[in-house]
Amino acid sequence: CVCLAGCSSGYTNGPLPSSGFSGPTAFGYWDDLYIYAGTSQSVYYGTTGTYPNRNLVFEFYMAHFGAPNLYYRFQIVFFEATPNVVRYLYYQASDSGVSCTIGVQRSGTGPSMTYSVNTAGSVPAGSSTTSSATLTL
């Protein structure tokens, strides 16, 4: 997730809003994900476009904690021209959302918007170059 203030380091996801995150938070795939040493896994970020239509893109390439062969690759995109919109693009989600929370919240007390909580099949896999289940909140 991308958290702007008061971020939780807890390993357990749950329904939104979550009091563990006091500031605005985009939950692209809130689960117990992990970056394994000696891999290309990381959280990458960059911008695309030009003013006033730039996008800030965070790309997550990770594995599940305790299961290094379960891969997750997704992007969280923020738009300069539409500041209250966030888009999630999914390229790979090994367990298809069975143990994650996807949504967005303004604060730990709300408001919030939830797409799924621990819902199998909520995130169909795309491919290495094509996203699937693009979600705009």
pLDDT, mean of residues 101-125: 91
The first and second tokens of residue 120, run together, are 């199998």
Mean pLDDT over the full length of the chain: 90
What pTM value is reported for the model? 0.90
> In the chain, pLDDT over 70 holds for what percent of residues?
90
pLDDT of 62: 97
Query: Residue 133 pLDDT more than 60?
Result: no
Q: Which pLDDT tens digit goes with each residue over 2-40? A: 998 889 887 789 999 999 999 999 999 999 999 999 999
Whole-angstrom distance, CA of residue 70 vs CA of residue 93: 8
Cβ-contact 133, 126 below 8 angstroms: yes
Q: What residues does each domain of the chain span?
A: 2-136
Whole-angstrom distance, CA of residue 62 vs CA of residue 60: 6
Whole-angstrom distance, CA of residue 135 vs CA of residue 64: 22
